[in-house]
Amino acid sequence: MTQGGAVNTAFKLYPPWWRDRYLKEAQRVTDDLIESGRTRWRIVLNLSGGALRARLTARGMPMKVEPWARRTNASIVLATAPTLGVIPLMLTIRQVPAIPGGSGWTMPSSHIATTLYLVLLLGFVALISTVIWGYTSLSNGLLTRGTNGRGLRVMARVPGYLTVLAVVLVVASIVIEPHRLVYHGNSSIPLNGHPLAAHDLWVAAGVAICLCWLASVVLLAWVAHRAELPVASLHSGTRVSVAVSIFLWTMSAAALAMSTVYSKQISELSGIRVQSVILGQSLLLLGIVLCVLSIASTIGSVLTSRSWKVTSHLAR
């Protein structure tokens, strides 16, 4: 008897160690249940729940270094991957921390908002720095292990090279940008430089960053599936996971607090108030998305810490 497509897919959700150990007999039980009249969708739901539990708890997983190291790999990816969602989100922020209007007059709540905005930005900078540190350790680990395929070893370098390229393009763009001369008080005219080329370089830098983002997604997926990393890389990956979760929660808290501050700003100028409420709503949305990403990252870092304990114990 052949298994249904959905049933087979549900079995694929299980971790490899589980499939090695239980797949054949579980398939046989499933065949018997279908034959006895049990509905397929109930079996699929039950198997999917079982797969989730098997992945989260790892109960019954053989006490060998390889599967536990692979589990640590995958958990590190789960904990750090939300960063890739944060980068485009942060680019959507187009607000200024002071009350809009440009009159130079600010309310006390604006100072709180300014501080929270700084916390958000500092959290983001810390997050990116942590991820760069993690990436360095990851790529070194991938390159030192001879068992990793050539494709993966090449892929390990790609995000780094693309980041360097983007930085070079941005610097080049700034260098060749025209120096401006103030003319007649308000207007300015280009004194020298290459404005069109500078613009093109900016666009190229943007493309490089986008490609870097895509390459990071591919690299993380690859690492989660089949990479082998030395124990030292797994150790630093564990610390990176915890740090990423902490910075994500910091950013979430800052965004949510900012949304409250902006939503409650009441000004005599109704136009400013409307603008504040809109800012508050968009920041609330940002805060909620950041919270979801933080939860995913926290689950990943908790799993990483547990797996790492077992892996390091077995590797001794």
Binding-site ranges for other proteins (CB under 8 A):
10, 18, 21-22, 24-30, 32-33, 42-43, 45-51, 53-54, 59-60
* Nearest to other proteins of 54, 257 (CB atom): 54
Which is closer to other proteins, CB of 44 or CB of 76? 44
Select 42 or 225, whichever has its Cβ closest to other proteins.
Answer: 42
Q: How far is the CB of 5 from other proteins (least distance, A)?
A: 17
The burial of 7, by beta-carbon neighbours within 10 Å (0-12 exposed, 13-18 middle, 19 or more buried), is given as buried
CB of 11 to other proteins, least distance (A): 9
CA 172, distance to chain mean position in Å, is: 29
Are 67 and 17 in contact, with CB atoms under 8 Å apart?
yes
Closer CB to other proteins, 21 or 153, in the complex: 21
The span from the CA of 135 to the CA of 122, in Å, is 20
Our CB check for other proteins shows the closer of 26 and 132 to be: 26
CB of 17 to other proteins, least distance (A): 10
Q: How far is the CB of 306 from other proteins (least distance, A)?
A: 15
Contacts (Cβ under 8 Å, ≥6 apart) of 110: 97, 98, 99, 265
- CB of 28 vs other proteins, minimal distance in Å: 4
Quote the least distance from Cβ 58 to other proteins, whole Å: 9
Q: What are phi and psi of 313, to 5 degrees?
A: -65, -45
**Beta carbon of residue 307, minimum distance to other proteins (angstroms, whole number):** 16
Q: Which of 219, 207, 69, 66 is nearest to 131 (CA)?
A: 219
Residue 26 or residue 119: which is nearer to other proteins going by CB?
26
CB of 224 to other proteins, least distance (A): 22
Query: 185's torsion region: left (phi>0), alpha (psi -120 to 50) or beta?
Result: left
Which is nearer to other proteins, 7 or 279 (by Cβ)?
Answer: 7
Nearer to other proteins, 22 or 213 (CB): 22
**Half-sphere exposure at residue 109, Cβ-oriented, CA atoms within 13 angstroms:** 16
